[in-house]
């Protein structure tokens, strides 16, 4: 008997071995394809694709994500892509819930289709379920805002505004306008006070104060709000409210507001000298501003003296501000000094009334190069028709060939001088 060859007994016939290898290869290929398919599904399910791959387009969860892309930040349908029938959206949502029972977007979409078929309150059970699944679904919170508005439940409306804006402050531009329209209402203001510590609250209020929207008189609301704010936020809102009043031409209210909210700054209203007080940016346009002007250079030293120089042939405004001087007679005093080694610049201080009819010049004080070392004195009067005064200071070089400079050592203003 020939010697045993155990390896031959253990080996499969060549044909059987080839089949087994092909099966393993096919199985590994199927596993790889399945893994790829699942990875692709995960990728597209998390996005709002315009055109997912054809092989994945029928996946219910991808369809739910696509349908979400049809809604804008405020929850209203867009025209792009074209709105789908509610039946199609609802079918996809139900199919998605069979695959993923805790999918908040699918649950919300069922609610939104239900509300579209009846009234917004019909959505509440679905939306409540969606919120139970996730409080970080932005469109669910927006849909709950709309549903609670229809029900007239103000605390619930603001609760969902708060949750939506905590999920995404980027949604603010879409959500702010509707909230701003309700801001003048006393009951809305009272409820909003509860959210003074929310991260979106200050950006919202600042946005309203900076805007040109008619938000009514909310100065009382801001005053009631102030105790709940930090010092920095109080100063910020006080300054924004002051700027808004000035921009609206409500000058008497602006003076009253400043006295109530920033009493340490109020003395600056009657001062014309350039000091840290009269340059405080919290005063808005009531502070000295130094707009950049081509060909004009300005420096200020610790004493408040202004050194201004002008390139050849240049003349421009380099300083301006508003004052809210009460009616009366005033004396203005301007102290000038030359700059060594440089020709003297021309200087002009213009004072104009700002009223309902625009600006009217009240006084103009000018200095010539010959008066570089001098004290310029003048008088003017303010009446009730001049609630705010616009000051502007211009400098220029009288020569087209050489620069000029001048030093303003001080400016003084006195009311009812003798």
Q: Is residue 334 part of a domain?
A: yes
**174 lies in the same domain as 239:** yes
Give the closest residue to 133 by CA, choosing from 165, 96, 91.
96
CA 334, CA 274: separation in Å to the nearest integer? 12
Is 324 found in the same domain as 251?
A: no
Q: Could you tell me if 103 and 157 lie in one domain?
A: yes
Same domain, 360 and 263: no
- Indicate the range of 3-7, 51-55, 231-235, 408-412 predicted with least confidence: 3-7
Position 355 confidence tier, pLDDT thresholds 50, 70, 90: confident
Q: Specify if 161 maps to a domain.
A: yes
pLDDT of res. 40: 34
Q: Tell whether 15 is covered by a domain.
A: no
Question: Per-residue pLDDT for 53 more than 70?
Answer: no
**Confidence band for 117, pLDDT divided at 50, 70 and 90:** low
Return the structure tokens found at 48. 């709002």
Tokens at residue 332, please? 């203005």
Pair (239, 339) in one structural domain: no
Backbone angles phi, psi at 243, to 5 degrees: -60, -40
Q: Which of 42-56, 90-104, 186-200 has the lowest mean pLDDT?
A: 42-56
Q: Are 347 and 408 in contact (CB under 8 A)?
A: yes
Most confidently predicted of 44-58, 102-116, 214-228, 297-311: 297-311
CA dihedral 98, 100, 105, 111 (to 10 degrees): 30
Q: Which of 238, 267, 296 is the last residue of a domain?
A: 267
* Digit-coded pLDDT (tens) for 326-347: 999 999 998 998 888 888 899 9
Domain boundary among 243, 267, 291: 267
pLDDT: which is higher, 157 or 88: 157
Together in a domain, 175 and 220: yes
SS3 351: strand
pLDDT at residue number 8? 29
Give residue 159's pLDDT.
95
Mean predicted confidence (pLDDT) in 147-165:
91
φ, ψ of residue 100 to 5 degrees: the values are -140, 85
Is residue 21 scored above 60 in pLDDT?
no
Residue-level pLDDT at 69: 75
Question: Residues, the chain, total?
Answer: 418
307 and 408 both lie in a single domain: yes
Do 243 and 347 lie in one domain? The reply is no
pTM exceeds cut of 0.75:
no
Q: Do 289 and 372 have their domain in common?
A: yes
pLDDT exceeds cutoff 90 at 322: yes
State the Cα–Cα distance between residues 159 and 162, nearest whole angstrom. Answer: 5
Which residue range forms the structural domain that includes residue 361?
Answer: 270-415
Q: What is the pLDDT of residues 208-239, one digit of tens each?
A: 899 887 777 788 888 888 888 899 999 999 99
Asked if residue 312 and residue 260 are part of one domain, the reply reads no
Strand, coil or helix: 387: coil
Helix (H, G, I), strand (E, B) or coil at 308: strand
Angle between helices 201-210 and 172-182 (to 10 degrees): 70
Predicted confidence (pLDDT) at residue 308 exceeds the cutoff of 70: yes
In a domain, 295, yes or no: yes
Q: Does residue 372 sit within a domain?
A: yes
d(CA 271, CA 1): 126
Candidate ranges 51-55, 64-68, 69-73, 287-291; pick with highest mean pLDDT: 287-291
Shared-domain flag, residues 209 and 274: no
Residue 204 contacts residue 176 (beta carbons within 8 Å): yes
200 versus 301: which is more confidently predicted?
200
Q: Reply yes or no on whether the pLDDT at 296 is more than 50.
A: yes
Q: Is residue 225 located within the same domain as residue 162?
A: yes
Average pLDDT along the chain? 80
Q: What is the reported pLDDT for 14?
A: 42
Structural domains in the chain (count):
2
Rg from Cα positions in the chain: 36
Answer yes or no: is 89 within a domain.
yes
Q: Where among 267, 289, 316 does a domain terminate? A: 267
**Higher pLDDT, residue 216 or 268:** 268
């Amino acid at each position: 008997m020939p010697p045993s060859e155990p390896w031959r007994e253990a080996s499969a016939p060549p044909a059987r071995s080839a089949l087994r290898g092909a099966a393993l290869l096919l199985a590994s290929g199927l596993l790889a394809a399945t893994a790829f398919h699942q990875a692709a599904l995960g990728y597209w399910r998390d996005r709002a694709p315009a055109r997912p791959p054809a092989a994945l387009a029928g996946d219910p969860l991808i369809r739910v994500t696509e349908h979400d892309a049809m809604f804008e930040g405020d929850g209203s349908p867009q025209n792009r892509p074209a709105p789908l029938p509610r039946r199609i959206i609802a079918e996809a949502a139900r199919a998605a819930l069979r695959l993923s029972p805790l999918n908040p977007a699918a649950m919300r979409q069922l609610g939104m289709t239900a509300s579209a078929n009846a009234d917004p309150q019909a959505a509440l059970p679905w939306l409540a379920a969606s919120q139970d699944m996730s409080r970080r679904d932005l469109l669910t919170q927006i849909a709950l805002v709309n549903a609670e508005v229809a029900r007239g439940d103000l605390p619930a409306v603001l609760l969902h505004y708060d949750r939506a804006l905590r999920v995404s402050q980027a949604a603010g531009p879409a959500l702010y306008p509707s909230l701003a329209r309700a801001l003048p209402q006393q009951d809305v203001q009272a409820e909003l006070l509860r959210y003074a510590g929310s991260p979106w609250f200050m950006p919202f209020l600042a946005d309203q104060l900076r805007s040109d929207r008619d938000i009514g008189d909310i100065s009382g609301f801001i005053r009631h709000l102030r105790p709940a704010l930090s010092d920095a936020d109080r100063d910020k809102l006080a300054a924004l409210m002051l700027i808004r009043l000035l921009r609206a031409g409500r000058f008497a209210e602006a003076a009253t507001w400043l006295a109530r909210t920033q009493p340490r700054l109020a003395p600056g209203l009657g001062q014309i000298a350039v000091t840290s007080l009269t340059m405080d940016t919290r005063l808005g346009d009531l502070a000295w501003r130094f707009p950049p002007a081509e060909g004009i250079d300005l420096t200020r030293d610790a004493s408040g003296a202004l050194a201004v120089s002008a390139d050849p042939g240049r003349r421009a405004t380099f300083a301006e501000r508003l004052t809210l001087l009460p009616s009366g007679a005033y004396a203005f005093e301007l102290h000038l000094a030359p700059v060594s080694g440089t020709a003297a610049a021309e200087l002009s201080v213009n004072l104009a009334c700002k009223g309902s009819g625009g600006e009217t010049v009240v006084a103009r004080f000018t200095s010539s190069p010959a008066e570089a070392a001098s004290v310029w004195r003048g008088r003017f009067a303010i009446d009730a028709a001049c609630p705010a005064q616009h000051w502007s200071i211009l400098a220029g070089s009288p020569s087209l060939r050489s620069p000029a400079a001048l030093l303003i050592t001080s400016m003084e203003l006195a009311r009812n001088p003798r």
